[in-house]
Amino acid sequence: MRSLLDFIVKHSYVFLFLLLEILSLVLLFGFNDRQKEAFLTSANSLSGTIYEWRAGVDQFFFIRKENTRLVEENTRLREMLYEMTDSQYVDQERELSSSRVVAARVVDNSIRKDDNYLTINKGSRDGIAPGMGVYNPDGVVGVVMVTGKRYSIVLPVLNGNSSISCKKKGSDSFGFLEWSGGDPYVAQLKDMPYHSAVEIGDTIVTTGFSSVFPENVPVGTVAGVERSKNGYTLRIKVNLSCDLSDLGWVYIHTQTADDEIEELNEQILN
């Protein structure tokens, strides 16, 4: 306590100066409208800058949470879209197939290997099963290959074993999208009938023939067309619409196939 008193006495002139300075500012801005207005304007500008900076910091730290919320919202909207689309083509008395979209984050990925794979953070406990289609807002990503409880491995378009039924948008002619290695942004659409009117710049989409993908999910655009060696089909170069080197969130199409179709397929195979 003695030391504190000695410090105050020693610096008494400084404290007196500060006290008088504060008093003069109070008198200046408290009883003069012009100066008061100028002070408030400056204070508001400073506080606004501080608030904006703080909001930017908050946004930086909470952006992941916000992205998650937006992805979940988009998932619900996609479910509604597919249900509305399905209802246009089924009989009113027929019960709609189970249709659900699940969002997942890509936790591991590769694009430079001969056979690439990627891993997502959703598994069997989330309703994911092998054979389900995976895509993002840009287009097709691949098909679920193996599932664990919490994670799944996806066979992407950039894998030599991948084969996805595709067609020219607005046409019924279809082929199979395959990747022969090399350029991770280009694939080939094979077995398209040679009489198909396909031109450079046309859009390629999924056929929707199976339960893997809904119809008209973007696949890419035609970059080249040539006749196959057999003379009966076309070999089409496709620029992929989805950049598989830059994947964050993806969607899994979990619509189940019609039981009757599955039974018929099993009879054929057996």
Residue 146: name the closest of 127, 125, 130, 123 by CA: 130
Work out the average pLDDT over 80-103.
52
0.85 cut: is pTM over it? Answer: no
Task: Look at 27 and 213; give whichever has higher pLDDT.
Answer: 213
**pLDDT tier for residue 93 given thresholds of 50, 70 and 90:** very low
- Residue-wise pLDDT tens digits, 16-57: 777 777 776 666 556 665 655 555 555 444 544 554 565 566
Measuring CA to CA, how many Å separate 64 from each of 60, 102, 245? 8, 18, 20
Give the pLDDT score at 80. 59
What mean pLDDT is reported for the chain? 76
pLDDT digits (tens, 9 = 90+) for 137-151: 889 999 999 998 889
In the predicted model, is pLDDT for residue 124 greater than 70? Answer: yes
Predicted confidence at residue 90, as pLDDT, reads 42
User: Of 104 and 16, which is predicted with more confidence?
Assistant: 104
Q: Is the pLDDT of residue 205 over 90?
A: yes
The answer, yes or no, to whether residue 63 has pLDDT greater than 80, is no
Query: Contact at 8 Å (CB) between 159 and 142?
Result: yes
Q: Which pLDDT value is given to residue 118?
A: 92
Q: Would you state the pLDDT for residue 214?
A: 85
Task: State residue 184's pLDDT score.
Answer: 92
List the one residue out of 121, 97, 94, 90 whose CA is nearest residue 107. Answer: 121
Per-residue model confidence (pLDDT) at position 87: 47
d(CA 112, CA 252): 23
CA distance 236 to 225: 5
Q: Specify the CATH number of the domain 97-256.
A: 2.40.10.340
Choice among 47-61, 82-96, 187-201 with the minimum mean pLDDT: 82-96
Considering the chain, what percentage of its residues have pLDDT values greater than 90? 29
- Candidates 222, 142, 233; CA nearest to 188 is 222
The rounded percent of the chain whose pLDDT value lies above 70 is 61
Of 35-49, 203-217, 228-242, 254-268, the one with minimum mean pLDDT is 35-49
